[in-house]
Structure 1
Amino acid sequence: MKTINVRIGWELLLFILIVLTFSSYQQIITLEWNALIFPAIILALILGLCFSIKYSLDQEFLYIKNSIFGTTKIDIKEIHKIEKTWNLLSAPAPSIMGRIEIYYKDDSIVISPRDFDELKNELLRINPNITVKE
């Protein structure tokens, strides 16, 4: 089983931190620390979700562990196209940049591997019929 490293988008996490900070600005200024418990829990949950996403593959399947939402198992022989995308739909892709969309059967999924070329080469080694759009 080969592990594919996940790209964690610090730009996305920074955006979420800024939104939570601005939404809690009044409580921070007045030092109402009890009111900051809920935003802190939200931030911890988002960080936990982002850091628990895992990608791996073996000779038959690509596994996308989507934190608490389960694992998507994709037959590599059914993948017909991969391409870089800016699709911002909710996905097991904790980064805005470096996203790729994998098309298989009649479905697709967006992920964010740290090294696109590594994933591309591994997939093409198993299924050379995959169309790659960069």
Structure 2
Amino acid sequence: MKNIPVRIGWELYIPIFCIVFFPVFSEIKNNNWEIVFVPLAIIGIILFLTLTIRYRMDSDSLYIKNSIFGTTKIRISEIYKIEKTSNMISSPAPAISGRVEIYYKSDSIVISPKDFTDFEQKLLAVNPDITVKK
């Protein structure tokens, strides 16, 4: 089983941090620190959910572990197209840039592998009939 590194887009977290912490900033300035525990818990949950996304591949399947939400198993022989995308749909892709949409059977999923070229070569080694759009 080969691990495929996940691209973590830290630019994704900056707006989340601002949205969560901006309302409590004035309370922090007034030394009201207990108000910070809920935003810290929210940020902790978000970090946990995004940092536990994993991609793995064996000789015939791609496994996408979506944190606590389960694992999607895709047979590589059923993949017919992969393409870079800027689709912002909710997905196991913790990055804004470097997203890849995988089309298989009658479905698709968006992920964010760290190295698209390496990911592409690993898939094509198993299924050379995959169409690649960059």
**What TM-score do you get using the length of structure 1 for normalisation?**
0.97
Partner of 1:57: 57
How far apart are residue 28 of structure 1 and its match?
1.7
Partner of 1:26: 26
Distance 1:128 1:31 in 2: 61
Distance 1:49 1:126 in 2: 30
SS at match of 1:93: coil
- Aligned structure 1 segments of 4 or more residues deviating by more than 4 angstroms: none
Distance 2:61 2:4 in 1: 13
Read off the aligned partner of 2:34 and give its amino acid letter. Answer: N
Partner of 2:16: 16
Partner of 1:128: 128
Distance 2:27 2:118 in 1: 46
Ranges in structure 1 where 5+ consecutive residues have no aligned partner: none
Q: For 1:16-70, what per-residue CA distance to the aligned partner results, in whole angstroms no more than 9, with x for missing partners?
A: 1122121222222222211111110000001111110000100110000000001
Read off the aligned partner of 2:111 and give its amino acid letter. Answer: I
Read off the aligned partner of 1:85 and give its amino acid letter. Answer: T
How far apart are residue 91 of structure 1 and its match?
0.4
Percent identity of the aligned residues? 54
Distance 1:23 1:104 in 2: 43
How far apart are residue 81 of structure 1 and its match?
0.5
Partner of 1:96: 96
Distance 2:129 2:27 in 1: 56
**What TM-score do you get using the length of structure 2 for normalisation?**
0.97
Read off the aligned partner of 1:34 and give its amino acid letter. Answer: E
Distance 1:91 1:29 in 2: 36
Distance 1:23 1:94 in 2: 25
Instruction: Quote the RMSD (CA, aligned, Å).
Output: 0.8
Number of residue pairs matched by the alignment: 134
SS at match of 2:72: strand
